[in-house]
Amino acid sequence: MVGSDLQDADLIHPSTQWPDLPDAFGALATTRRGGVSTGPYGDGRDGRRTGGGGLNLGRHVNDDPAAVEANRARLRARLPGAPAWIAQVHGPDVVDAATVQPGGPVRTGDASIATVPGVVCAILTADCLPVLFADLGGKVAGAAHAGWRGLAAGVLGQTVAAMRAAAAGEITAWLGPAIGRDAFEVGADVLTAFEAALPGQVEDVFRPYPGRPGKYLADMYLLARRMLAREGITRVHGGDRCTATETDWFYSYRRDGVTGRQASLIWLK
């Protein structure tokens, strides 16, 4: 019964907007709906950004641990295996998801790949960009957590490199829910980081924030597409949601501060 209340309507199914995702892969993205968390971790559908019924999957955000475990159990019931949860640190390191075992040592990184059926790559976010990867030959899956620091540090390129080292052929990607271009306010430090990471390619990505000197609105989806293009990845889909403005669908750290985490997951069938 743990999975009975997590309905298709509570989830995002990447395959519906990822036309070249091979049949060899399964993929899901959760929202804040369909769980048991309450308060700031609720589903946000009461108009107060709180309420109940939230599917918070993050253990590190001070939610009731029993609620988080119940939410994770609901998600697990929809998957072929336990998600390979990793300790995300906003860096570029990639983990082999098969080495992440329930009850085993915590693995640190911001991306994972899988080459074994039933091994589930999983990323938690609440404004940062989740990117799911699949190779067209149906051999390697990948998932990356791309906050601006990890994105500038090359986490997407590192994930692609790890997949290619594992015999991936042509790779396609899906950009999951993240903070949108009209809500992602950043300072000059972020602009400088991407001027170094993508020389000559960011002038149209950062718009001066009207009335806020030294502040910009950044398009993280466009930054990711350019990072992927640099790696030869041009089959890129998704990138049309905003965690900060879609209050009743997504957790957003920028919007709420105290909040939950949603997940993006991919696996080989």
Task: Please give the share of the chain, as a percent, with pLDDT higher than 70.
Answer: 96
- Could you give the number of structural domains in the chain? 1
Interatomic CA distance for residues 12 and 264, integer angstroms? 9
Question: How many angstroms separate the CA atoms of 73 and 156, rounded?
Answer: 29
- Spatial neighbors of 48 by CB under 8 A, at least 6 apart, are none
* Residue-wise pLDDT tens digits, 206-235: 999 999 999 999 999 999 999 999 999 999
What is the structure's pLDDT at 5?
75
Domain membership of residue 227 (yes or no) is no
* pTM beyond 0.85, yes or no: yes
Residue 184 scores a pLDDT above 80: yes
In a domain, 124, yes or no: yes
pLDDT at 1: 35
In a domain, 19, yes or no: yes
- Residue 260: CATH number of its domain: 3.60.140.10
Structural domain boundaries enclosing 112: 8-175+242-268
Residue 235: inside a domain: no
CA pair distance 213, 197, nearest whole angstrom:
23
Residue 228 domain flag: no
For the stretch 75-125, pLDDT in tens is 999 999 999 999 999 999 999 999 998 888 999 999 999 999 999 999 999
Residues found in the chain: 269
Token digits of residue 83: 């998600």
Residue 48 lies in a domain: yes
